[in-house]
Homo-oligomer: A and B are copies of this chain.
Amino acid sequence: MKVKPLGDRVVIKRLEAEEKTKSGIVLTGTAKERPQEAEVVAVGPGAVVDGKRVEMEVKVGDKVLYSKYAGTEVKVDSEEYIILKQEDILAVVE
């Protein structure tokens, strides 16, 4: 199944935060902060402003930082994704 976001929306998949501390202890549950890093999985065609489509700034495969709480979580084929507007993506991480 494929998810095609509308307008200037982007589908991202959270990257698992590194679960081991330096000492090798595995952190679980509430001890980890909610990760804010994700990978772009699908990109919408861009918003239409004054009749012209605005080109998107992120592309599939980009690692991004996103606003905590932004977007909507959806579950497709048992996988969790977040669909958000590009303006809620803060930065690309290289």
Contacts and interface: CB of A to CB of B under 8 A. Distances in A.
Interface of A: 1-7, 9, 11, 33, 36, 42, 44-45, 48, 50-52, 54, 57-58, 65, 67-68, 72, 74-76, 83, 86-87, 89-94
Contacts of A48: 54
A92 B50 CA distance: 24
A36 B73 CA distance: 10
Copy number of this protein in the oligomer?
Answer: 7
Q: Which of A45, A48, A72, A89: most chain B CB closer than 10 A?
A: A72
B90 A83 contact: yes
The 9 A-B residue pairs whose C-beta atoms are closest, nearest first, are A5-B91, A83-B90, A2-B94, A4-B92, A3-B91, A65-B74, A6-B57, A3-B93, A67-B72
